Amino acid sequence: MAEDRVVSARNLRVRFGDVAAVRGVDLVLPRGCAVALVGESGSGKSVTARALIGLTGGIVTADELRIAGHDVAGLGERGSRADRAWRRIRGRVVGTVLQDALGSLDPLRSVGAEVADAARLAGTAVDVPALLESVGLDPAAARRRPDELSGGMRQRALIAAALAADPEIVVADEPTTALDTTRQAVVLDLLRARVDAGGSLLFITHDLGAARRVADDVVILDAGRVVETGPFRTVMADPASTEGRRLVASVPWGRPRGEALLPDAAARLPGDARPGTVATQGNAPAPATPAVSVGGAVPGPASSYRSDPAPQEPERRGLDAPREASPLLSARGVVVRYGGTSEPAVRGADLTLRAGRTVGLVGESGSGKSTLLRALAGLLPVESGDVLLRGEPWSALPERRRRARRRQLAMIVQDPLGSFEPRWDVGQVLTDALGRRDPQRVADLLESVHLDPAAAHARPRTLSGGQRQRVAIARALAVEPAVLLADEPVSALDASVQAQVLDLLDELQAQRGLGIVMVSHDLGVVRHSSDDIVVLQNGLVVESGPTEDVLSHPTHPFTRELIDAAPRLD
């Protein structure tokens, strides 16, 4: 019934100049219901959500657009009348959790002041410590500024600020991307509890497992249009649309190690005009070249690629390196302490990495995963214990003696865009990594990660998230390393783009014999992509071993807690 609809949009359209980002979307959000809005990057999810709160920055039109009884069709987003109308809606009626937590919080005020102010402006009373605790934050965080918190803590603070005004509707845009498994479960359960109490939730996410935990219905977008909608579990069990089937196929949980998630995917990423083109934001696609087949020969000049696929059998692990082979990288009793802290961040960690194998590091935020990774890379001093590279001292050496061996290791960071020189194009980024000007080698690197060589002329900010991550992988490969150290390499990517990057890493590992250490809070990613797993809690390794053995038969309570909290589609 119409009176039960807190959001009703009919033929919603959003344009940015000549670009149509949302094209005729119909969306209904009933009272006491959670609707998941899913789709690939560029499908229009976030723009659709922002249209409901007047924050697109584009031109919004609709045959009907009503928010909790407010008719906002034709209202516009700027002007004194529009400003007054939107102020009555934002916060009080619609609480918003946007993707960029650091940019959404006031950098000069404490988190507690931010949360309290949101309640004050809405005329509601709030117990700030209790609210922070409900989203999994220590109440002491109320006294800290956003820049003093981790990414996951900032995300939870932003959720608390959105809930402080007790809004009728919560629009949550990727609210759990920066959270580890257990804290993600806390936030998802909190959002679901609000829905069960009569609130409404529009949940934008690339994580179908997280969506399953909170959503009643799902709307799948592709290129700004709705391609499928219905009850979440019904649609996910048997999607009728091509996009729906692609999203479901991209979920890594339960897929055997070595099995390609998207075996038929070519070099295409969301937004590409056709396979092999370089999709840029605001630029015309570059000319296409033939797509490189998955499972081809060892990277080299373009002419050396095979056209016939040679996929691995699912049970194969990397290069099937013998367990007794000498480790590429090993850690023994590694202790890492940050200056001025009484407790070490990593306490006596052991790890062994062999050629052609992947070790996954998992644990909660602050468990020491990234710290251990940086210690393995020689970027943090080791207080005690040893890191060995190819059986020889690594952590014990001064930097001047490590420098000549640094090319044996390469890192893939979580935020590739922030790691690129913003004034350089992709070709300059790769040339800098190579240490010499070699246009053919740059082209070979781009083809090895299934990007058109024309991408060398694009600036990273004009590429999609998945393409930027491929450039980051190409940069890491430029030094021809034996070891890749990957810190949350797919956490910010949509489901199918994540699947493509994971397939790419598997392919490159099989071709080059790479050893990979992968940090991830997503157990589904680790289960599919790693041969061995190391579970960290408060800086301690509490469990380790072959991935499937540990996740199927965990012996430590914390490991069982992580597994139980992990969102999954089945």
Q: What is the pLDDT of residue 415?
A: 78
Choose the final residue of a domain: 214, 249, 284: 249
234 and 330 housed in the same domain: no
- 296 falls within a domain: no
Q: What is the pLDDT of residue 284?
A: 34
The per-residue pLDDT for range 246-297, each reduced to its tens digit, is 999 999 988 889 899 988 764 444 334 333 344 444 333 333 332 222 222 2
Q: What is the pLDDT of residue 263?
A: 82
Measured between alpha carbons, how far is 117 from 438 in angstroms, rounded to an integer?
Answer: 55
Q: Once rounded to an integer, what is the mean pLDDT over residues 222-241?
A: 95
Nearest to 447 by CA among 382, 507, 527, 533: 507
Q: What is the pLDDT of residue 100?
A: 65
The per-residue pLDDT for range 13-39, each reduced to its tens digit, is 999 988 899 999 999 999 999 999 999
229 and 350 housed in the same domain: no
237 and 364 housed in the same domain: no
228 and 358 housed in the same domain: no
Lowest mean pLDDT across 151-165, 221-235, 301-315, 324-338: 301-315
Q: Once rounded to an integer, what is the mean pLDDT over residues 210-217?
A: 94
- 350 falls within a domain: yes
Contacts of 92 (CB under 8 A, 6+ apart): 121, 122, 123, 165, 167
Q: What is the pLDDT of residue 462?
A: 85
The per-residue pLDDT for range 70-107, each reduced to its tens digit, is 898 888 777 778 888 888 888 889 988 877 666 778 88
CA angle 531, 257, 252 (to 5 degrees): 115
Q: What predicted TM-score, i.e. pTM, was given to this entire model?
A: 0.79
Give the SS3 label for residue 273.
coil
363 and 491 housed in the same domain: yes
On whether the CB atoms of residues 396 and 330 are closer than 8 A, the answer is: no
- 438 falls within a domain: yes
- The fraction of the chain above a pLDDT of 70, given in percent, is 88
Measured between alpha carbons, how far is 164 from 159 in angstroms, rounded to an integer?
Answer: 9
485 and 365 housed in the same domain: yes
Choose the final residue of a domain: 204, 224, 249: 249
364 and 501 housed in the same domain: yes
Q: What is the pLDDT of residue 555?
A: 96
Query: Does the pLDDT at position 430 exceed 60?
Result: yes
Measured between alpha carbons, how far is 496 from 248 in angstroms, rounded to an integer?
Answer: 9
Q: What is the pLDDT of residue 479?
A: 93
Task: Note down the domain range covering 410.
Answer: 325-565
Q: What is the pLDDT of residue 265?
A: 60
Lowest mean pLDDT across 37-51, 201-215, 306-320, 550-564: 306-320
Q: Once rounded to an integer, what is the mean pLDDT over residues 229-233?
A: 96
- 219 falls within a domain: yes
Q: What is the CATH number of the domain that holds 551?
A: 3.40.50.300
393 and 488 housed in the same domain: yes
339 and 455 housed in the same domain: yes
Q: What is the pLDDT of residue 438?
A: 95
480 and 331 housed in the same domain: yes
Give the SS3 label for residue 141.
helix
On whether the CB atoms of residues 43 and 269 are closer than 8 A, the answer is: no
- 15 falls within a domain: yes
Please tell me the total count of domains within the chain.
Answer: 2
CA 421 to chain CA mean position, Å:
21
Q: What is the pLDDT of residue 324?
A: 52
- 263 falls within a domain: no
The per-residue pLDDT for range 328-384, each reduced to its tens digit, is 999 999 999 988 788 999 999 999 999 999 999 999 888 999 999 999 999 999 999
In whole numbers, what is the pLDDT of the chain averaged over residues?
85
Measured between alpha carbons, how far is 485 from 503 in angstroms, rounded to an integer?
Answer: 17
Beta bridge partners of 67: 7, 70
Q: What is the pLDDT of residue 278?
A: 46
Choose the final residue of a domain: 249, 264, 280: 249
Q: What is the pLDDT of residue 383?
A: 94
Measured between alpha carbons, how far is 143 from 251 in angstroms, rounded to an integer?
Answer: 39
Q: Once rounded to an integer, what is the mean pLDDT over residues 505-511?
A: 93
**pLDDT grade for 388, boundaries at 50, 70 and 90:** very high
- 361 falls within a domain: yes
500 and 365 housed in the same domain: yes
- 432 falls within a domain: yes
The per-residue pLDDT for range 107-131, each reduced to its tens digit, is 888 999 989 988 888 788 889 999 9
49 and 171 housed in the same domain: yes
